Amino acid sequence: KYINNCSLIHYTPKYINHYGEHNVTLSVTTDTSYSAKLGVSFILNECPISFSVNSLGLCDCSVSKENVTCDINTLHITHNGLLWIGKYHTSTPFNANETNPNACIINEDCLLYCSPNSVTFQLNDTDTQCVDNRGHRMCGSCTEGYSLLMGSNKCGQCHNNYTMIAWIALFAVMGVLLVVLLIALNLTVSVGTLNGLLFYVNIVKLYEPVFSRKGALPVLTQVISWINLDFGFEICFYNGMDTYAKQWL
């Protein structure tokens, strides 16, 4: 009844549509006609968030996009960039192996603030897909400890809050000079030239990260910023500034 040469038995249970603990009985027969029945218990867990069961009964990517791959062993998701994948509620921390079949997963193209390069991340660390110290849903805001900079869409760290007083004084002087320039060039609303100029400049400024992602046209970007009544170069106005506050400024 003893077996001299033993080998490891691999058993893959068929897909079961209900989760929890299951028991199977394996019948083992040796070359000496000795047979035995082995009772094996196993637990079938749900697929983690962003994974779903495929036709083979294995957990695979639930994201229906080209060039997106998932690894169930490491829980890593990989794509070619300019794409954002993550939970709708990014402010709620969770583990990458957490299961929630009703979780809302966003899977959208992201041309402005997402990395153009290939990225590998876990669903509980979606900020890896972002650039310029941005994060959260669709890379729409700055990460913890960073503030939105004047003159660009990047996020940076502010080291001195007292510099805001100097910037306010500079803005006041520049505002007066701008009014004088508009009067001297007769660029009034009634002429119509100013309306057309601001319209097209606003479009270029809005899609600046797409037109010049690496800042390849610094001089043109500077001129466009000034016409768009923007500061033109990156400064930290105050610690904690976000997009909402920047629009008011």
Residue 120 and residue 203 in one domain: no
Q: Which of 89, 113, 146 is the last residue of a domain?
A: 146
**Confidence at residue 134, expressed as pLDDT on a 0 to 100 scale:** 93
14 pLDDT higher than 90: no
Overall average pLDDT of the 81-92 stretch: 85
Residue 172 and residue 102 in one domain: no
Q: Which of 111, 129, 146 is the last residue of a domain?
A: 146
Helices within the chain (DSSP H only): 163-184, 193-206, 208-211, 218-227, 243-248
**Confidence at residue 228, expressed as pLDDT on a 0 to 100 scale:** 63
Q: Which of 146, 167, 184 is the last residue of a domain?
A: 146
Residue 129 and residue 190 in one domain: no
* pTM for this predicted structure: 0.68
Residue 170 and residue 132 in one domain: no
Q: Does residue 38 sit within a domain?
A: no
**Confidence at residue 77, expressed as pLDDT on a 0 to 100 scale:** 92
Unique residue bearing structure tokens 């249970």: 13
Q: Does residue 120 sit within a domain?
A: yes
Our count of domains for the chain comes to 2
Instruction: Look at residues 77, 81, 94, 91 and name the one whose alpha carbon lies nearest to residue 135.
Output: 91
Residue 141 and residue 170 in one domain: no
Residue 73 and residue 117 in one domain: yes
Q: Does residue 141 sit within a domain?
A: yes
Find the domain containing 134 and state its range: 51-146
- Please give the distance of CA 42 from its chain centroid, rounded to a whole number: 36
Residue 211 and residue 138 in one domain: no
Residue 55 and residue 139 in one domain: yes
Q: Does residue 199 sit within a domain?
A: yes
Q: Does residue 159 sit within a domain?
A: yes
**Confidence at residue 217, expressed as pLDDT on a 0 to 100 scale:** 58
Separation CA 35–CA 72 (nearest Å): 36
Separation CA 234–CA 249 (nearest Å): 15
Residue 199 and residue 181 in one domain: yes
Q: Does residue 238 sit within a domain?
A: yes
CB atoms within 10 A of CB 106: 15
**Confidence at residue 244, expressed as pLDDT on a 0 to 100 scale:** 84
Q: Does residue 24 sit within a domain?
A: no
Residue 61 and residue 134 in one domain: yes
**Confidence at residue 150, expressed as pLDDT on a 0 to 100 scale:** 81
Contact yes or no for 80/108 (Cβ under 8 A): no
Per-residue model confidence as pLDDT tens digits over 139-164: 999 998 899 988 778 899 887 766 76
Residue 207 and residue 171 in one domain: yes
Q: Does residue 79 sit within a domain?
A: yes
Residue 138 and residue 160 in one domain: no
